[in-house]
Amino acid sequence: VQLVESGGGVVQAGGSLRLSCAATGFSYDDYCIGWFRQAPGKEREGVASISHSEAKSEYASSVKGRFTISSDRAKNMVFLQMDNLRPEDTAVYYCAAGEDGVYWYQALANFTRYYYGVDDWGKGTQVTVSS
């Protein structure tokens, strides 16, 4: 499995960024792809997830309505469109993959406790939102 993120940067509050993840080496039907983030001094947290087998996406309450996860299976790409960004969205964003199942969704909701639900990670991309 290989996950490579791109698209991070610096943006003013209220602005938008689109993160991309080149995700290869696994079956999209068996795995979920998602985004986690970690701010300085804070624990890693789940942001958004997409499941192709169930055709559904999930979002953390803090980003719901502002972020949208999507994919292009033909190009093995997953995207995170981030709109109306806030300074508290500043973090390193990681693309992640895990088997589609209860452990993945537990990790998405509480990564600190259920970290084993994530099988693979990208190296991360920095997102900085200035006020």
Residues 82, 8: contact at Cβ < 8 Å?
no
List, for residues 42-60, the tens digit of each pLDDT value.
999 999 999 987 789 999 9
Tens-place pLDDT, residues 3-22: 999 999 999 999 999 999 99
CB 80 within 8 A of CB 19: yes
Q: Given this model, what pLDDT does residue 22 score? A: 97
> How sure is the predictor about 28, in pLDDT bands with cuts at 50, 70 and 90?
confident
CA separation for the pair 131, 124 (Å, rounded): 23
Percentage above 90 pLDDT, the chain: 92
Instruction: Give the pairing of strands 17-24 and 2-6.
Output: antiparallel
Whose CA is closest to 23, among 61, 58, 63, 50? 50
What mean pLDDT is reported for the chain? 95
